[in-house]
Each structure stands twice: as structure tokens, then as C-alpha cells.
Structure 1
């Protein structure tokens, strides 16, 4: 395939990004929208075609901020073309070759992210077993976030299967059962994760364990005793001796994170467990207090010690009007072409794309993605680690929720919120409409002035969001 070649009258090939197995991945531009995508070409004549197509079968059903989305599928007489998120960045194998082994503090944060995405995959029905986690399949994107790519070896876990039909994986990272001695399951992914962490922590390929015991290598790399024991449990040869699920591994990891090296110092316990630094917020209806809720969330996070920013990914213009109000009240601290500071928070008005916000500067980022109308920024909401959906506060308007769902597919992990003086509407959402989880925020009229009782209720709701984020 050549540069400038047009695929399906929609995408222009920019350049080749790489080859994997029997497929080739290109950088392509959507001709109409002028945005970039990864385009994977699969030959219909390849003996591995069925295995390669497994990737699209699995990915099209997934929605998680660490996973690429499949957005389009095209074909001609010779090839299928899978159009997916383009993730600019560097894979962790290249990163370690350039920068050396990863410091424990950073590796702890990555471990939490990776356990979170495994728990998401294993929690599907049927479970998705990834089977090939390794540094080269993990991309550190240009915003400093980990992304898990290449689902060509993933499988759907079936209880009736007793063994894998073929060896699939990468030597050194693959678990013993992947060599044909048993069936791959969630514990297989935990072994792969353990070997990946070993490589990142020591700078040594896992095959080097043959010449140096893993425990000695990890200790020489300077890892704490708790973290070393955690990794050694993951790489037990016998699956029965590993944590029996990703949820159990997360629970074990809690003991590591509670040591002296916490991710967030002097923060509440839930903050240590917030695996998602980005909260995306949308509303079913326009003019329902969405921006005010975002401000309330930011204010509560700021009071809990988080360095917080709010980004307006819609065309309402509310943030610029806020800026003018802050200036009139003489509480505007700073302002430039892209953002302004007030009330201890940073505001980014009129953001077109999420990459325009320097996310690494902030502990927490709240995205005001606007109401679910024709201009709804669905991609920004999906990019968040937690999605909060503001529902109508009146029960008789709840039918509008399902009208919105006819246009926009709801996410499996969405958190539904109502603003009310009682729990009645939350209960109806859960029991009658089967929307879980649901949260009640105080019914407020002014986000800048709340009663002590409302602040307590707001705090409880925020704590619940952080707990839910920690389980994703």
C-alpha cells in the first residue's frame, strides 16, 4: 500500500507504522474530518486470517480508556481494513531501552492501571483473556497514559475448554500453561503481567531468570520487599499458587500501596485507590446544571488536596462567562490564551481535543463534555477513566434517558447521577430502570455557596465515585 492511496473513499494512507504477524498497520487520515487513525490491513488469503479477525470481534465490544476503539471496517477483494484509534507514543520496550529500568514509584501507578484493565477484561461475559501482555504491547501515549494494544492473541474464556489449542504468547512472558500444558484463564494474564513488571523493574528480559533468580534480580533493582513478594506471587509456575483472579490481585496490591510509598501523600484513603485521574461528565438534557456540577466536583477535589483542572469540551461558552464573572469579583488569579485560574482550580474553556490539556500537570481532570445532543463529545467522555451521567432530577423526565440511549450507546461503567434532596430518584433509577451504579448529589442553586449539609452529601457522593473508579 502506498502513501496517498485512498481506502473505501474515506481514508487516505499517510505512512506505514509497522507490521505485526500477517497484518500491516498504516497511519491514515479521514478525508472528511481530517483526523488520524490507525488502519490495519488483513489479507483474506492469510492462513492466520481467522486469528487476526479475532481482534476486531473482541475490541468492538470493549469500552475502556486504556484500550483502542474500533471505529470502522472496510474491505475490498483482497483485504479487510480495520480502522482503530491512532495512539501516538512509545511502547515500553522502547522506553526502557532508552531510559533504563522504571522507578518503583512510577511502576506502582502503572501496576494499578494494568490490574484495572485486566479486571475490566476478565469481568466481561464471557471473560476476555489477553494472553500476551509484554512491554512492546504497552504504549505510553503522548499524554503520559498507558494503553494496551494488539488483541490478536486474545480469546474469549469458555468454561468447557480444558486446554489451549495452540501455543500463543511470547517466550519469557508466557505462562507455563500457554505451552500446551493447560488452559489459559485470568491467572495466565496475571503471570504475563508479573513478567512484564519484572522486565520493567529490572531492565532484564524474563528469560534472564534462568541465570539469576527473580527475587534476587528484583531486590538488586531496589524494589521494596512488599512489591517484590507481590510480583513473585504473580509469576508462580503453578496457576493455583497465583492470585486466583484480577480482583484478588488488586486486593493483594492494596497491601503494597499502603506502605510508605503511596501514590498520593497526605490524601484520603480513597485517593490512593483512584485508578482514574479523569472524570468525564455529561448530561441527558441541556440546561440541567452540568457545568455547575463540574465546578462542585472540582471544588470538592481541591478541598481534598487534589491539584484539579476542569476542561470544557463543548460549545456552550460557559467557562468564558465564568472567567468574566471571576474577573468582576476580583477572584481571577491568572489568565492566558488557553486557560485561567480561580478558586484554586484551573479552567480550560472551549477545548477542541483532549490532547490540548496538559494532563500530567494535574492530579484530577474533570471534563465537561456537554449534554447528549447532536454536538455531544462522545469520544471525550469515553476517554475519561470514569464517566458520570447527570440525569433529569424529575422522575417524569426519566424517559428522556432512554431517548438519549437510542442515539448514543451507554457505557457499561457509566455512573448515573441525580441532584435531589432525597434518595427517592436514585432508588427509582436503580430498581425500576436498572441503571447501576447511581449517586445522589445535593440539589444546589449556586455551586459557589453550599450549606454544610450539602457539602457533606457532596463529599459522600465524591467518595463513592472515587471508590468506583478504583475498581475499574
Structure 2
């Protein structure tokens, strides 16, 4: 077992144990060279397990398999270290929590949200199934699906995934989680193929939308409307087809399942009955509709008036309250009344970051409010504005993993990227923040991916676009008169760090010495001229100024060849 505080391969410091399963232990580690957090999976070669050799080979196969995959819903492997008695697999650390934990805390999830998750999972499974050779995941369940802070999913744990071999008639030896696993995963019942993952996904959707764990009594997948009559008959039919015992009776691919999910309302019993009724009773329905419309409009207007009044009252109470707890309570009430409106979310974010820190507890509170409504919020024309503000909150204020010894700037950037991408995806180019959001996204993705590019020696040409984005962002932020001091200082710190870390790489990508020195001088002057108003910003300001000699030396070292001969 790895010791907390020990250093692996001279660079990965073990911080804490974050997971443990039958095959391995997983630790959170800090890359001391890059100041970046990774997940480290540890597999002991001499564990007291008669199947240990199978476990070791499975873990190595898993690592090598993931290493060649490239999909936003899959983790990346960056290193495999064999220390003799132990194998360490270095991979992306995925922030968030498994859907199993969300089920334990909140029970059944909203139908619309589950369907959106199902679509994401179909897409990643279809990607795996269309690899060459195809990859069968075989262990779909809520515990293996991570919900990230941005609302998107990551599929983890490829310990029992396998490459599909057409000539294998029977390949499975009881691998999978009972309750979720398909019949063919339990020895002698044929080869696992894409339809196996369709089954596992169907059971997972059953658990998510009903809250009923298939691993617990009654150990039977009843129609989902038996648990909740308000659920869609169309979704019920889809889950029932996914979970047929005979693979021939299921959807034959995840692409086919995805299409069904996109049109689930069209196979709903109620939907079909309504369509038939419309054909039989056109005139009657039309007359009734007019009457219903009048009554409905009147009732809805009254209800809308009440909701608007309650919403506005909650916002006013939040804005007038001096106490932090009261503000959080009233903004939360407003969100519950009108969860598709952005104003209460914005107020809640402002309250959370008012002390220049967005804590893990505050993030948890915010996620509880926004995650169940993400599908409907994304339909709002104001969603891009909200996504941009959430991205900035993570980028500048998120304090997860921050210590006196280690800044968590990379963690903050990684957590913010998807929100900035949403601001661009759902926003308009006419918005003032549109260009800034795109630049934030690019800078975040660079810092997220550059380690892997360096490991694979594919980083050439990546630094110039990054530098140009950094320059643009500094210019845009400096031209914003009311931008907060912490935003400016954090940006200056990132730029200075980038010069220190990548000065030589910038030179090789064609960035001139004068260009780099110009930006460095601008950072130094802007930082010196700024008057910090809080202890936190004063500390950042001092850190930048104290490290400026290091920044200058990095430039000198990178360009020494042009001053005194060849390198």
C-alpha cells in the first residue's frame, strides 16, 4: 500500500486514498513538477489472491486500452510505472461524485435528467463499440459513472472491458456486477458484445429513474411506472427492451438505443392515445381546446402572477439580507420557485464568492440546485450568461485542493473549462463575454492536456496558440475597467507561471524574446501599480512580484543561445 506523503517515480506525491475496490486502490497525487493533480491506481503483484495474475494482467490491459482512446467522457492514462512489487497507473483525476452517491443521497433522479445522461452514455458506448477492434465495457452501473461539476459524465473503471473478437463463441467467466450484468456475462451463455452494454445501461437507467437498486430485494426489474406512475410509458418500453434476457430481443446497438431515447415520447402509451383521439374527434377536441385554453390561460395567469411575486419577494429578501446564511436561504427559495431563471443562481454565486473563496461545501449546495434542472436551464436564452459566471467562479475562486504549499490553479481551470465551452456553445457572438469565454476555454484545455502532449512528444506547435490566447485575455481583462482585482492578479500569476514553465517552448514555437519580455514587463508594472484591498489579493500580488526574478531568469535561459552562440 502506498504511504501518504511518499513520492512515486520521483514526481508523484501521494496525498490521500480516494477509492478502493477488489482490484486496486486509487490515490490522489500531486505532480511536483507540473503542480497538477492525478489519480494513481495501485495494483500489488503479490496480493493474497489466487486470481492475482488475472488482476494484474487486467489492470495493465485496461491501462493500455484507455491510453489509445480519445473521448471527452473517458479518462486519460498518462503513465504506467512498474516498481517490481507494485504497478502504478497514472490517470486523470476526475472531480465530481459517482451517480451511486447521488442515488444514495437523493434517491430517484428527474426523468428528463436521466434521459440526458442516457444519451451521453449511449454516445460514449457507441464510440467504444466502433473502435477497431470494438471495446465492450461490460460494467455499466451508477458507481462507475462520475458526474462532474459541469454536469457532464465520465465513465470510469475499465477493469473488465474487453476487445470484441468475432471468432470467440464464449468468452465470459462471471465478470460484471450482479444485478446490472447481462445473462451472457455469467459463463457459458455466449460471447459479450455491444448488446451486453445495452442491457447494463438499461438496468442503470432503471435504477436512476426509480431509485430501486437491482442488487437489493425484490431483485426483479418491474415496469418503472409500477414504482412511479408519472414516468413516461415510452421510457418504460425502452428500458424493458434494453433488459431482455435474449440479446436478439434488445436494441442491437447503442446508436439504435440513442435514437429511441431521442424519440421516447413517440412510443408513450399516452402519446399514442392522444394521437388517435385527435384523429377521431377533431371538431370536439378543437371546441374543447378553446374552452380549456380560456380556463387554462386564466388559471395559469393567476398562478404565474403568484410565482412571480414569490420569486421577486425571495430575491428582494436575499438582496436586503446582511447575513450569509439568510442570503443563501432566500436565493435557494427563489431557485426552487423558478429554476429556469438565471438571476437567483447568479445571486447565489455572488454570495458564495463574496469572501473570495468558492468552497467545496458551497459547490455542493450549488450543484444540488442546478443539476436537477440543467436540461431545462440550457433551453433558456440566458443560460450562456450563467454558464460564463459559473466558469469564472471555478476559475478564480474554487478552493478544492488548495493548500499553503500547493496552489490549485490547474484544478480550478479544469473545473471551469466545460462551463466556458457551454457559454460559447449556447451563447451569441454578439455577447460581450463571448470572445473571453472562448479564450478561457482554450487556455483551460491547453493546461489540461499539455502534460499528455509532452509525455507523447506531440506538444510542438501547441504553445504559440496558447501564448496568443494569453495575450488576448490580458488585453481584454485590462480593458475592462470594473474587473475585480483578484481576476486580474490571478491572470497575471498564470501568465508569469506560463513564461517560467514554457519560455523555451515558446521560443521553439516562434515567439520572439521581445514579445515575451514585453508581456512580462506589462505584468510586472500592472501588478506593481495595483493596490490590493484584501489579504488574499495582497498575498497574490506579493507572490507575483517576489517571483519576478525567476520569470526573468527563465526568459534569459531560453534565449541564451541567441545571445552567446548555439545551444
CA contact (8 A) 1:131 1:192 kept: yes
Shift of 1:142: 3.2
- Cα deviation, 1:107-143, whole Å, max 9, x if unaligned, reads 1211111111111111100111000010111111233
**1:310 matched residue in structure 2:** 438
- Seen in structure 2, the aligned counterparts of structure 1 residues 29 and 203 have a Cα distance that, compared at 3 Å, is same
Residue 175 (structure 2) pairs with residue 21 (structure 1): no
**2:4 matched residue in structure 1:** 3
Alignment of 1:353-372 (within 5 A): none
CA distance in 2, matches of 1:83, 1:218: 44
Which secondary structure state, in structure 2, belongs to the residue aligned with residue 153 of structure 1? Answer: coil
**2:516 matched residue in structure 1:** none
120, 134, 144: which one aligns with 1:113:
120
**1:169 matched residue in structure 2:** 176
CA distance in 1, matches of 2:163, 2:182: 17
Shift of 1:184: 0.5
CA distance in 2, matches of 1:135, 1:145: 14
Residue 204 (structure 2) pairs with residue 196 (structure 1): yes
CA distance in 2, matches of 1:303, 1:266: 17
* TM-score (ref. length: structure 1): 0.60
Which secondary structure state, in structure 1, belongs to the residue aligned with residue 428 of structure 2? Answer: helix
**2:302 matched residue in structure 1:** none
CA contact (8 A) 1:257 1:263 kept: no
CA distance in 2, matches of 1:351, 1:86: 24
CA distance in 1, matches of 2:430, 2:218: 47
- Cα deviation, 1:311-344, whole Å, max 9, x if unaligned, reads 431343213434566x6xxxx9x7445779xxxx
Which secondary structure state, in structure 2, belongs to the residue aligned with residue 125 of structure 1? Answer: coil
User: More helix by proportion, 1 or 2?
Assistant: 2
- Seen in structure 2, the aligned counterparts of structure 1 residues 267 and 220 have a Cα distance that, compared at 3 Å, is closer
- Seen in structure 2, the aligned counterparts of structure 1 residues 197 and 2 have a Cα distance that, compared at 3 Å, is same
Alignment of 1:189-268 (within 5 A): 189-207=197-215, 210=218, 213-217=221-225, 220=228, 222-256=230-264, 263=375
CA distance in 1, matches of 2:34, 2:241: 48
CA contact (8 A) 2:214 2:220 kept: no
CA contact (8 A) 1:67 1:147 kept: yes
Residue 184 (structure 2) pairs with residue 182 (structure 1): no
- Which protein has the larger Cα radius of gyration, Structure 1 or Structure 2? 2
**2:72 matched residue in structure 1:** 65
**2:473 matched residue in structure 1:** 319
Which secondary structure state, in structure 2, belongs to the residue aligned with residue 310 of structure 1? Answer: helix
CA contact (8 A) 1:108 1:257 kept: no
39, 57, 63: which one aligns with 1:56:
63
CA distance in 1, matches of 2:494, 2:167: 48
**1:467 matched residue in structure 2:** none
**1:85 matched residue in structure 2:** 92
Shift of 1:89: 2.1
CA distance in 2, matches of 1:61, 1:100: 36
CA contact (8 A) 1:202 1:221 kept: no
CA distance in 1, matches of 2:259, 2:220: 29
- Seen in structure 2, the aligned counterparts of structure 1 residues 320 and 22 have a Cα distance that, compared at 3 Å, is closer
**1:344 matched residue in structure 2:** none
- Seen in structure 2, the aligned counterparts of structure 1 residues 304 and 221 have a Cα distance that, compared at 3 Å, is farther
Which secondary structure state, in structure 2, belongs to the residue aligned with residue 95 of structure 1? Answer: helix
CA distance in 2, matches of 1:304, 1:114: 33
CA distance in 2, matches of 1:375, 1:136: 47
Which secondary structure state, in structure 1, belongs to the residue aligned with residue 113 of structure 2? Answer: helix
Shift of 1:165: 3.6
142, 162, 183: which one aligns with 1:135:
142
CA distance in 2, matches of 1:84, 1:375: 31
Shift of 1:241: 1.0
- Cα deviation, 1:197-219, whole Å, max 9, x if unaligned, reads 11111111124574665215565
Higher relative contact order structure (alpha carbons within 8 Å, sequence separation ≥ 6): 1
CA distance in 1, matches of 2:100, 2:56: 27
**2:154 matched residue in structure 1:** 147
CA distance in 2, matches of 1:267, 1:216: 27
Which secondary structure state, in structure 1, belongs to the residue aligned with residue 88 of structure 2? Answer: strand
CA contact (8 A) 2:225 2:232 kept: no
User: More strand by proportion, 1 or 2?
Assistant: 1
Shift of 1:4: 1.3
- Cα deviation, 1:231-272, whole Å, max 9, x if unaligned, reads 11111111111111111111112212789999469969xxxx
CA distance in 2, matches of 1:35, 1:190: 36
Which secondary structure state, in structure 2, belongs to the residue aligned with residue 64 of structure 1? Answer: coil
Shift of 1:144: 2.9
Shift of 1:374: 5.4
What root-mean-square deviation, in Å, do the aligned CA atoms of Structure 1 and Structure 2 show?
3.8
**1:126 matched residue in structure 2:** 133
CA contact (8 A) 1:198 1:218 kept: no
CA distance in 1, matches of 2:475, 2:28: 39
CA distance in 1, matches of 2:117, 2:425: 27
Which secondary structure state, in structure 1, belongs to the residue aligned with residue 17 of structure 2? Answer: strand
CA distance in 2, matches of 1:16, 1:298: 36
**Mean CA deviation greater in 307-316 or 150-159:** 307-316
CA contact (8 A) 1:44 1:78 kept: yes
CA contact (8 A) 2:195 2:253 kept: yes
- Cα deviation, 1:12-46, whole Å, max 9, x if unaligned, reads 11112222223221111112112111111122343
CA contact (8 A) 2:19 2:27 kept: yes
